[in-house]
């Protein structure tokens, strides 16, 4: 299935001057012209979907012509993030005497037909961090980005599947993708299978990605990819969707810290005596009932929120000059993308984001919830539940912490 982008309709992310991307919606940009609700309601988990754009420069704001060199330079001190793959042959890249990545030998491997794989590049490049966090804010799914640099007439991985959903972004060149069967491998089978048996695969279907295209791959779909006469650079945006098991794991752990129901000891001979085993049901039911309470589930979701918050890189902090002249009419907006939540305790309220927390008295709760949920610019005087002095003080604090910024350009319009 394929979607073509109508002429003149596409999203252009703008740099905000510090090397990051200012994306109104990272996911909308990756999927355009497919609306995000359509993708989630109709395409998600169903089948591969090819978004054909015929615009080689579509991803240039994210990864321009000289981007590969910049990427490898950024990874010189992180050789563990780089792998070299040619079919079944996997190499660990060699290092220089100082422990840095030997770029000359990496280039030689590329010339010999190896694909260069750079893992989790959102850790090293702020534009990739902005992209992944933008998706995380919108979907609440932990997200990572890998880069694949493949020479002409080469195959990277043999047929395989991923445990997570993937958006493939074709940055440079072209690549042909092969799909083996229409149905993804079921999650419970993925837990038991370690690799695909090529001998048991059906004849593949294929599609051709060119620069500027996006390809969606659901988890468990067996696939491979190869270049033809030109080299290829593509990114994979991995969407690691939490499952019911994820929620149960977090909820059980937090429940174990406050309720002895999950610490009830099993009786002697519970492995060997059928009569003892028959009595285990009520113990399990009590534990499940405790897990299913709204309070326990809220704790589990809170732990998952905390994980997502801590994944974000700290925003660019404000300067003292950014807070000059602030009054009730000053326009501010939440720095984007930025996932946040408000926590309360007996001591007051806290606005948590990235690895930071801004604390205040309890009377600031309404204002904190307002700024956490707000995505559009607003005036300082709109902060609810505070005096004019408190509004200005909170705005200054949030600007200095990097949570709020004073918009410029079109964003500065009332």
10 Å CB burial of residue 116 (0-12, 13-18, 19+) is: buried
Task: Taking the CA atoms of 74, 75, 76 and 77 in sequence, report the sign of the dihedral they define.
Answer: positive
Q: At what angle do helices 388-401 and 365-373 cross, to 10 degrees?
A: 50
Rg (CA), the chain: 25
**Would you list the domain boundaries of the chain?**
26-239, 243-264+292-307, 320-405
Model pTM greater than 0.95?
Answer: no
Which residue's structure tokens are 């039911």?
Answer: 285
Closest-CA residue to 185 (of 230, 221, 142, 140): 221
Measured distance CA(207)–CA(225) in Å, rounded: 10
Contact status, residue 66 vs residue 235, Cβ threshold 8 Å: no
pLDDT digits (tens, 9 = 90+) for 287-298: 999 999 999 999
pLDDT digits (tens, 9 = 90+) for 195-205: 788 888 999 99
Contact status, residue 216 vs residue 49, Cβ threshold 8 Å: yes
Q: Is the pLDDT of residue 407 over 80?
A: yes
Q: Tokens standing for 291?
A: 């897990």
Mean pLDDT of the chain, nearest integer: 90
Q: How much is the pLDDT for 17?
A: 42
Q: What is the mean pLDDT of residues 314-322?
A: 79
Measured distance CA(167)–CA(216) in Å, rounded: 5
Q: How much is the pLDDT for 14?
A: 44
Q: Is the pLDDT of residue 268 over 90?
A: yes
Q: Is the pLDDT of residue 332 over 90?
A: yes
Contacts of 192 (CB under 8 A, 6+ apart): none
Give the three-class secondary structure for 333: strand
Instruction: Please compute, for residue 254, the number of CA atoms within 13 A of its CA located in the half-sphere on the CB side.
Output: 19
Q: Tokens standing for 221?
A: 């779909």
Q: How much is the pLDDT for 320?
A: 81
User: What dotted CATH number matches 26-239?
Assistant: 2.60.120.650
Q: How much is the pLDDT for 8?
A: 40
Measured distance CA(91)–CA(114) in Å, rounded: 9
- CATH 3.90.930.40 given to domain 320-405: yes
Give the three-class secondary structure for 90: strand
Measured distance CA(196)–CA(190) in Å, rounded: 10
Question: Could you write out the DSSP letters of every residue in 140-201?
Answer: ---EEEEEEEE-TT-B-SPSB--SSEEEEEEEEEEEEEEE--SSPPPHHHHTT--S--GGGP
Measured distance CA(193)–CA(220) in Å, rounded: 11
Same fold, 26-239 and 320-405: no
Neighbours of 215 (CB within 10 A): 23
Q: Tokens standing for 52?
A: 């054909």
Q: How much is the pLDDT for 165?
A: 97
pLDDT digits (tens, 9 = 90+) for 26-60: 999 999 999 999 999 999 998 999 999 999 999 99
Instruction: Please compute, for residue 197, the number of CA atoms within 13 A of its CA located in the half-sphere on the CB side.
Output: 3
pLDDT digits (tens, 9 = 90+) for 240-252: 999 999 999 999 9
Contact status, residue 48 vs residue 221, Cβ threshold 8 Å: yes
Q: How much is the pLDDT for 11?
A: 45
Which residue's structure tokens are 């030689």?
Answer: 108
Measured distance CA(354)–CA(314) in Å, rounded: 5
In our burial notation (b when 16+ CB lie closer than 10 A, e otherwise), range 142-177 reads bbbbbbbbbbeebbbbebebbebbbbbbbbbbbbbb
């Amino acid at each position: 299935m394929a979607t073509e982008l109508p002429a003149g309709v596409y999203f252009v992310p703008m740099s905000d001057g510090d090397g990051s991307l200012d994306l109104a919606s990272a996911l909308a940009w990756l999927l355009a012209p497919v609306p995000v609700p359509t993708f989630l309601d109709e395409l998600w988990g169903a089948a591969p979907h090819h978004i054909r754009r015929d615009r080689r420069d579509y991803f240039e704001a994210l990864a321009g012509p000289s981007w590969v060199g910049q990427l490898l330079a950024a990874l010189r001190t992180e050789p563990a993030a780089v792998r070299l793959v040619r079919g079944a042959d996997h190499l660990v890249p060699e290092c220089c005497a100082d422990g840095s990545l030997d770029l000359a030998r990496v280039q030689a491997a590329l010339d010999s037909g190896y694909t260069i794989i750079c893992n989790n590049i959102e850790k090293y490049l702020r534009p990739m961090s902005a992209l992944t966090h933008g998706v995380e804010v919108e979907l609440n799914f932990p997200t990572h980005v890998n880069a694949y640099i493949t020479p002409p007439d080469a195959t990277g991985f043999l047929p395989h599947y991923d445990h997570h959903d993937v958006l493939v972004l074709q940055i440079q060149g072209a690549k042909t993708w092969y799909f083996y069967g229409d149905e993804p491998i079921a999650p419970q089978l993925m837990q038991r299978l370690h690799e695909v048996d090529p001998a048991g695969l059906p004849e593949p279907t294929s599609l051709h990605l060119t620069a500027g295209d996006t390809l969606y791959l659901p988890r468990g779909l067996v696939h491979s990819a190869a270049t033809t006469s030109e080299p290829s650079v593509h990114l994979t945006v991995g969407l690691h969707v939490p499952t019911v098991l994820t929620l149960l794991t977090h909820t059980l752990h937090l429940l174990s810290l406050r309720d002895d129901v999950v610490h009830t000891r099993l009786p002697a001979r519970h492995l060997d005596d059928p009569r003892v085993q028959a009595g285990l049901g009520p113990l399990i039911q009590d534990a499940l009932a405790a897990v299913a309470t709204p309070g326990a589930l809220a704790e589990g979701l809170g732990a998952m929120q905390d994980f997502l918050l801590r994944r974000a890189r700290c925003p660019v902090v404000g300067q003292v000059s950014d807070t000059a002249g602030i009054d009730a009419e000053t326009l501010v907006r939440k720095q984007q993308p930025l996932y946040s939540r408000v926590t309360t305790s007996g001591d007051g309220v806290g606005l948590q984001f990235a690895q930071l927390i801004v604390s205040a008295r309890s009377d600031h709760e309404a204002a904190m919830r307002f700024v956490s949920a707000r995505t559009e610019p607003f005036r300082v005087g709109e902060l609810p539940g505070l005096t004019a002095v408190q509004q200005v003080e909170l705005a200054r604090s949030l600007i200095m912490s990097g949570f709020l910024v004073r918009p410029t350009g079109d964003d500065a319009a009332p």
